Structure 1
Amino acid sequence: MIKTLRYAFMAMLMLVCSTAFAGVITLNATDFKGSETATVTQDGITLTIEKGTSPSGAGNLYNGEQFRIYKGNILTVSSTVGNITQIVFTCTANNTTKWGPGCFAAQDGYTYKDKIGTWVGNAAAVNFTAESGQVRATTIEVTVSGEAGSTKKAAGLKFSETTVNYELGTTFTAPTFTKETTAAVKFVSDNEEVATVNAEGVIAATGKEGKAVITASAEENDDFNAGTATCTVYVYHMNVYKKATAVEAGKNYLIVAQRDEKTYYAAPVKYNAEKPYGYLNSFKVDGIVDELKIKSSYNDAFTFEGVDGGYAIKDANGYYLYSDGSHASFQLGNEAKAWTVEPAENGTFTITNNGQFMQFGNSTYTTFGAWKEAQENAVKPMLFVLDDAASSINGVQTTVKAQSNVRYNIAGQRVAADYKGIVIINGKKYLQK
């Protein structure tokens, strides 16, 4: 009887171990208190934050309060314990407002409502780009599924770089692609006007500015799980802005401040119809400079339009700035309202509307606002004008550095130069002895 029960128990255990497995792994930002890192691993789930196009640098698990993915950063959620079927972000703000889940770029399988962002699919790794603003998540819940006791291996699809930032006029070096699976791999670009990809996974820039996401995908087979991998290509040129001593109507300017041996330039306020106002946040470079080079993918310029009484200031989103006479933050609207712009010998400008003049900082703050009186530790702004000639991309040629002598076997796996057998080089088959 005991032996019979023992066998029954063992049979039940084997049955349990052979059935489908699913589990939820919850990563809490507070569990990593004190960590300021761009990579975290817990229970087979890894979060990796890459700089991407963000001028602010890579995000962090900062102070253990939230996972912070800065605007332009790319967050990769990957698993070694089974394919990911769902990811849930619990954020500190709603929808598309600052820090909300709607600040991630749109992609297949991703939706959001209020403070919750949800991705549903089936992949070993998933990328999220903070596109319209920073995303802050207190928890990230990852659901994985697989089969206990399965001998199937991960597809192992991988680009050597998940992000490529390419400046027009320089040499474009394509990232390499490798795989472990024996299944066929399909490659697709979501924007072939910016970057293309061939059947071997070789990416090429076309010479047009913009963003393209290259996706590699493989189906599940008898030996390997299904898998995907992505590489995001950003193509841009550098806009050159030089210190101005006067204002000319119709020109584009950066609003700049110099303080504490640093140079700051303003970014437009993200428009919110419910709260159409805000301070101008800033980016910074070290040193006191007379010229700034800014990626064309960041449109931080303000157009000074000639109107009765002075100049209207329009941001890159098409909204005009003005002061209401009582608040230090800028108001945003569709009506052009005049600012007086008076240059000073020290290179700064007094820029005034409705009795309030533009200033950078109030005490140690690094934002631009407008006050009626001079604030503590504040400085008046400078203007850097766009140099059209230096910023021109006419005649710029795209140079591509080819992947020479990259070898693949007939299964599509990259192999070394001393590999024996049939190899594929640049799409042609050769026999290596």
Structure 2
Amino acid sequence: MKKFLLSAFAAVACVAAASADEITLDFTTNNYGQTVAGSANDKYYMEDGESFTDGAITITANKLEGSGVRFWATDAGAQTFRVNNKSGITISCNGGVITSMKFTGSNFGYLQGEGYDDGTYEGSASSIELVNKGKDGKTGTVQIKTITIVYEGGTADERENAGLAFSEENVTAYLGEAFTAPTLTKATTAVVTYSSDKETVATVDAQTGEVTLVGEGTARITAKAEANDDFRAGSASYLLTVRPEKVEGALFSSEMGEGFSFENPASIEVWKLDSKYGLKASAYAQLEGEDAQSAHAADAVAYTTEAIDLTSYTKATLTFSQAMNQFKNGNDLIDVDAIVDYTQIVVREEGATEWTLVAEPTAPEAFSWNFYANEPVDLSAYCGKKIQFGFKYHSTTSVAGTWEIKNINVVAEGKNVDDSISEITVDNGGVIYDLQGRKVVNPAHGLYIVNGKVVKL
């Protein structure tokens, strides 16, 4: 009798074991139709309650009190599924129960939920809610590479993917110029609707996807389709960067700090080139041997690598956009008018080593990360010369804010050299002079003064 009972028990155990299925969700290679954020300036997150499915398993994003959940890829292409502090996910099995889960990645010990402990789940539930609550007083972002899930029962969603995709993921447009949105392809038969996450930058027609440029900045344009009997819900998006209207005839132009070099102190990289914010300066950092970030005393200049030739002009103007923030003394922001103690616009003639103050930047109405236009800077005093201009940053061990600069242009006017001639002729009695005031009888190629006007032969 005992032998029979043991055999029967073994048979039942085998049947139970055979009914279990296993699936591994690999977020390093599969974004499951979701948008992948790619830089610190890309604020895209899955919407609260948005989900994706693989077989019988569905993962739902829960924003809760945090910033949310999203796929993220570094500049090198390393992709993870991230759950930010105070946000969470729900993992569920359609028509079945989950019995175990194993996570790989980092910081998954910050997740908390019934039956879950430091990257492992054991239990029996149709859905498990996990929330990033931190651990042992520490907080951070959970970065998930894979989740291996064992489940029993469960019905796979046999509907097809919506198949939404834009022809480009990152596009740049200029105010004042026509813009054509990337092409959307889809498999779903459901209606697609469009939206913009920042309508102060760009608006989009909800039905057609046609974009209207409004202001400088970045906006994410998203297309979504609801689920129907044949297709799952799906979405796709692209990041639109809107630049200011191009300056026609600029003698020097740099959108994001191209063409600049840096005079930084040896101990700290104050100025650097940021692909999202342009020229960026800060002396608030954690240096080698220090326990935390702090303010450091420094003087640094971001300057034009090549000299700008103003020898043929009578008027020149410098314009740029900037953002200033975190200029604090202790926990309190300094007065905005005191920004002149920490930021300057400087100039030096070609070949010189010392910088000369030419103007003080326009103070912001309030410190923020919002860019605003600096008042035009008159460089006319340097016309007739070749110069370099720069932005000088100063900090102390008490105040070390952040200064960001982009959309830099120099426009010159009143060109007083006629360079369209191939031969110099003068009326009877006329005299040709070189730039030193000496008479010239047979001019070769170069600059000369004829009838009070500089001409180029």
Question: Shorter chain as normaliser: what TM range?
Answer: 0.3 to 0.5
The TM-score, its normalising length taken from structure 2, stands at 0.38
Structure showing greater radius of gyration is 2
